[in-house]
Structure 1
Amino acid sequence: MTRIVQIVPYMGPGTGVAGVAFHLDQQLRALGADVERFTFIDAQRRRGTRRWPRGKMFARIRGGWDMVWFSTIGTRRAGEFLANRPDAITITHNNVLVGDIYVNHGLLLASMRARGRSFWGIYRNPVHVFIYLRDRIRYRGRTHRAVVCLSESDAADLRATYGAVRPKIAVIPNGVDLDLFRPPTPDERDAARAELKLGTEERVAVFVGHEFSRKGLSFAIQGLSHAPSVLLLVIGGNDDIIAEAHAEAKEHGVGDRVLFLGPRRPPVPFLHASDFFVLPSAYEANALVVLEALAAGLPAIVTPVGFAPEAVVDGVNGFLVERDARAVGERMEQLANLDDAELAAWSRRARESVESYGWRGIAQRYLELAEQLQAERERGVPGHPVAKAGG
């Protein structure tokens, strides 16, 4: 039986890194692996509690402090934890600098460059400098034996950012919960729309994301000027950026066609109320939400970043567009003008396109990589570059 430890700041159902680790935990167990976890909470058990003042500024400071703490003290405590499990293969998600496999959930510097940030705009923040130096050690040194990138473009960004990456690189995308994210029944769709006070005739686009700027919400909002038949649901954000986006929608004369719903988990009812999905993002390592939308039967209008070009076939289960309001809007209007039978055909193709990305199959690929590293360890063979793991 393969023994696996996952190191992750937090683990739990939902989206993001915590959700990825949670699904892997469940499915690796189902595949027969002996799985443990080491989280920020586990590392913190010997740490004195610190009371932080309330407020958004202090919340950001605390987030940065916790990241630095888990990267440094957490690394030492994770190493102590692993020392008692010498036979385990470790999968590390974020921050900690130990583990056989590191899962690259995104590159801060690549993300900021994609948004047009200058060198000074990136490095004037000491936290960004810390992350760059930490991850240079991670990728150029002997910390890990393998790095999992979530897409081919993510692997290319990694090499472009850090040069010669010493660990072997495996490309394994995120998975999707095909039972939770599925096309709605007619009754589920009607109930979801009734909850939002929507009629049966409106064509509804949905945007899901917390970082409105990076995720390209402005292009979707301004795109409504070129998509007069479309209503836009916006899931995510916080009070400040929602207020800014609402002001932008009113400025462009589309305020009455944008409904801001704030953070909602899970987003399933809102996907059920919608006809298609839009995400004109500047940068993604994978964009799990794209897989979730497709699994829910929503054609996706997305930019060709991250895993999107590998999941979306232009004109088949969605559209690949530039970060341009007219381009986004015209594709939204094109889907809005389809009749019900045509839109249903797009929905079927969207669902079919991701049915091979269930979490069980993705976990199997991680298990195969772990078993490969275990065999190399037993033979005393050093790591060597590979392009992919598990197909």
Structure 2
Amino acid sequence: MTRIVQIVPRIGPGAGIPGVAWHLEQELGALGATVERFTYDDARRRPAAPWPKRRLARRFAHGWRIVWFSTVGTRRARAFLAERPDAVAICHNNAMVGDVYVNHGLALTHMRARGHSGWRVFRNPFQVFSYARDAIRYRGRTHRAVVALSAAAAAELRAVYRRVRPRVVVIPNGVDLERFHPPSADERRAAREALGLGADERVALFIGHEFARKGLSHAIRALPHAPGVLLLVVGGNGELIAQAQAEAEAAGIARRVHFTGPRLDPRPFLAASDMFVLPSAYEANALVVLEALASGLPVVATRVGYAPEIIMDGSNGFLVARDEVEIGARLAQLAEADPAEWRTRARASVAGHSWSAVAQRYLALADELAAERRAGG
């Protein structure tokens, strides 16, 4: 029986890296593997202190945790693995240990996508540390394989670090096909009533916390080119929402933009919507795109991350530039179309992306690496 240890700062249901690791833990266990975890709290040997309230203090605490888990945490993870010599270790972030490293995104590319120049990136000592650490990770012998979440991410990895020593395997993220599904008529009606939406209104949904990187401004400025389409925005914080509201007012479409703030469960908003829009500057593999498709929503997204590999123009959505005229035209096209046909095609396009199917690919890779180890490879 295969033994797997996942090394990840935090793990739990939800979005992001913690959610990916949690889904893999559940599905690998269901496939018969013995799965353990080694987290930041395990490395610290006690619960982490609460996050500071001030923004600057939070940023420093986040950077310090990255450094600590990459150094002290690495040493303690190695000791943990030494007691499990038969285990295949899958590392998700920061620690410099593990047979497999899952590349959830490159910090340098991420920062540049947020509009930070190279000089501004390298002014931050935590970013310098992360870049140098990952140069060692990708060019050295720390890991035996690297999982990229898309073909684009694999190409980006080689472009940034030039020479990548471990083998690179593309395994995209999955989606919970039971949790995310097209809504029934009653579910859709209830979701719309809760938001005060009429039955005939066409709604485009945007979900994300980093409004600038994920392109909310482009979605807002697309609305004058998509008459009658409402934009439902889930995520952000008070400051970001105020800025976006001001932009909507300046564009004269404030009445057509509705902000909910951050929400833990996106399903009611997916059920209430007709289409999903994400004009992001950078993604490794946006889980929310898969969740939208699984919920029967056609997706209008930029050609980043896994979107070009899952979105088929005119079938389950559209690939667009970060151009409000083009985005607006596609939203208008979807608003005028029969939603039932798009809903069927969107759902069908992710039928093979269950977390169980993804876990099977990770398990096959783990079995292969375990066999190589036994053979002395």
With normalisation by structure 2, the TM-score equals: 0.98
Aligned counterpart, 2:119? 120
Superposed, which structure 2 residues align to 1:214-225 within 5 Å? 214-225=213-224
- Cα deviation per residue 1:327-358 (whole Å; 9 max; x = unaligned)? 111111111112xxx21101100000001000
- Cα deviation per residue 1:196-244 (whole Å; 9 max; x = unaligned)? 0111010000001111111011100000111121001111111111111
Is structure 2 residue 344 aligned with structure 1 residue 369?
Answer: no
Secondary structure in structure 2 of the residue aligned to 1:91: strand
Aligned counterpart, 2:40? 40
Which letter maps to 2:149?
L
Secondary structure in structure 1 of the residue aligned to 2:141: coil
Aligned counterpart, 2:296? 297
Aligned counterpart, 2:30? 30
Is structure 2 residue 87 aligned with structure 1 residue 91?
Answer: no
Aligned counterpart, 1:134? 133
> How far apart, CA to CA, are the structure 1 residues paired with 2:125 and 2:31?
42
Bigger shift: residues 113-122 or 232-241: 113-122
The structure-2 alpha-carbon separation of the partners of 1:51 and 1:366, relative to structure 1 and needing over 3 Å to count, comes to closer
Q: How many residues align?
A: 377
Aligned counterpart, 1:359? 355
Deviation at 1:116, TM superposition (A): 4.6
Deviation at 1:117, TM superposition (A): 3.2
Aligned-pair identity (%): 63
> How far apart, CA to CA, are the structure 2 residues paired with 1:256 and 1:30?
48
Aligned counterpart, 1:2? 2
Superposed, which structure 2 residues align to 1:55-134 within 5 Å? 55-134=54-133
Aligned counterpart, 1:280? 279
Deviation at 1:64, TM superposition (A): 1.2
Aligned counterpart, 1:232? 231
Which letter maps to 2:342?
W
- Cα deviation per residue 1:76-109 (whole Å; 9 max; x = unaligned)? 1111111101110000101111000000000111
> How far apart, CA to CA, are the structure 2 residues paired with 1:141 and 1:280?
35
Secondary structure in structure 2 of the residue aligned to 1:315: coil
Deviation at 1:46, TM superposition (A): 5.8
> How far apart, CA to CA, are the structure 2 residues paired with 1:249 and 1:206?
15
> How far apart, CA to CA, are the structure 2 residues paired with 1:46 and 1:309?
42
Superposed, which structure 2 residues align to 1:208-219 within 5 Å? 208-219=207-218
Bigger shift: residues 161-170 or 56-65: 56-65
Which letter maps to 1:20?
V
Ranges of 4+ aligned residues in structure 1 off by more than 6 Å: none
Structure 2 alignment gaps of length 5 or more: none
Deviation at 1:119, TM superposition (A): 1.6
> How far apart, CA to CA, are the structure 1 residues paired with 2:235 and 2:222?
19
Which letter maps to 2:42?
D
> How far apart, CA to CA, are the structure 2 residues paired with 1:262 and 1:57?
22
Superposed, which structure 2 residues align to 1:140-289 within 5 Å? 140-289=139-288
> How far apart, CA to CA, are the structure 2 residues paired with 1:255 and 1:127?
39
Which letter maps to 2:61?
R
Structure 1 alignment gaps of length 5 or more: 382-391
Aligned counterpart, 2:13? 13
Bigger shift: residues 49-58 or 72-81: 49-58
Which letter maps to 1:173?
P
Secondary structure in structure 2 of the residue aligned to 1:166: coil
The structure-2 alpha-carbon separation of the partners of 1:53 and 1:91, relative to structure 1 and needing over 3 Å to count, comes to closer
> How far apart, CA to CA, are the structure 1 residues paired with 2:237 and 2:59?
14
> How far apart, CA to CA, are the structure 2 residues paired with 1:12 and 1:52?
18
Bigger shift: residues 63-72 or 302-311: 63-72
The structure-2 alpha-carbon separation of the partners of 1:334 and 1:145, relative to structure 1 and needing over 3 Å to count, comes to same
**What is the alpha-carbon root mean square deviation over aligned residues?**
1.3
Deviation at 1:289, TM superposition (A): 0.7
Deviation at 1:50, TM superposition (A): 5.8
Aligned counterpart, 1:316? 315
Secondary structure in structure 1 of the residue aligned to 2:359: helix
Aligned counterpart, 1:346? 342
Which letter maps to 2:291?
E
Secondary structure in structure 1 of the residue aligned to 2:363: helix
Deviation at 1:52, TM superposition (A): 6.8
Which letter maps to 1:35?
V
Deviation at 1:112, TM superposition (A): 2.8
> How far apart, CA to CA, are the structure 2 residues paired with 1:19 and 1:115?
23
The structure-2 alpha-carbon separation of the partners of 1:277 and 1:52, relative to structure 1 and needing over 3 Å to count, comes to closer
Secondary structure in structure 2 of the residue aligned to 1:355: coil
Secondary structure in structure 2 of the residue aligned to 1:356: coil
With normalisation by structure 1, the TM-score equals: 0.94
> How far apart, CA to CA, are the structure 2 residues paired with 1:357 and 1:145?
25
Deviation at 1:58, TM superposition (A): 1.3
Deviation at 1:70, TM superposition (A): 1.0
Which letter maps to 1:32?
G
Secondary structure in structure 1 of the residue aligned to 2:352: helix
Deviation at 1:54, TM superposition (A): 2.9
Deviation at 1:114, TM superposition (A): 3.6
Deviation at 1:115, TM superposition (A): 4.4
